[in-house]
Amino acid sequence: MWKKLLCVLMVLPALAFAGEIKDHKVLYRLWNDMKEANVKAIKKYTSPSFQAVRYNGAQNRAQELQIIANLHMTGYTLTNIVVTKNRHVLVFTYNAATTETVSGQVMSDTPTQRITVFERKEGKWIWVSHASFAQPLI
């Protein structure tokens, strides 16, 4: 019995880590799609009630998809990812360093804080909210 308990205790951290990796895939899928300006893919998993906030104000779904359509990103690095999860919500806070031009403005490549939220609906993770504190270079 002790051997079984010990095995379970050794496996639980690995299972938790595996779940974290799986959760992170949702965030990295979004960032990869943004890097490729793959609006068609992003549109499929973005909520109709999506909201974002950036340095220049709030955006709704249509406005955010337009920003992504005009996004030119050559690379990104996500660090300090913290995920909070319950059954139906994933909240990511993290730092993102990007090499990007947003709507014609070159953005700082300094790591900036972000928050990205997904909701589980009908077995799929739907993007519902995003905040970016990145600033354009002056």
Q: What is the pLDDT along the chain (138 residues), one digit of tens a residue?
A: 544 433 444 443 433 434 445 789 999 999 999 999 999 999 999 999 999 999 889 999 999 999 999 999 999 999 999 999 998 999 999 999 998 888 788 888 899 999 999 999 999 999 999 999 888 886
Structural domain including 10 reads 2-132
Residue 94 is part of a domain; what is its CATH number?
3.10.450.50
Give me the number of domains the chain comprises: 1
Decide if 62 is inside a domain. yes
Would you say residue 111 lies in a domain?
yes
Residue 96 lies in a domain: yes
Residue 137 lies in a domain: no
pLDDT of 94: 97
138 in any annotated domain: no
Q: Is the dihedral of CA 83, 93, 109, 101 positive or negative?
A: positive
Question: Is residue 29 situated within a structural domain?
Answer: yes
Instruction: Specify if 75 maps to a domain.
Output: yes
In a domain, 18, yes or no: yes
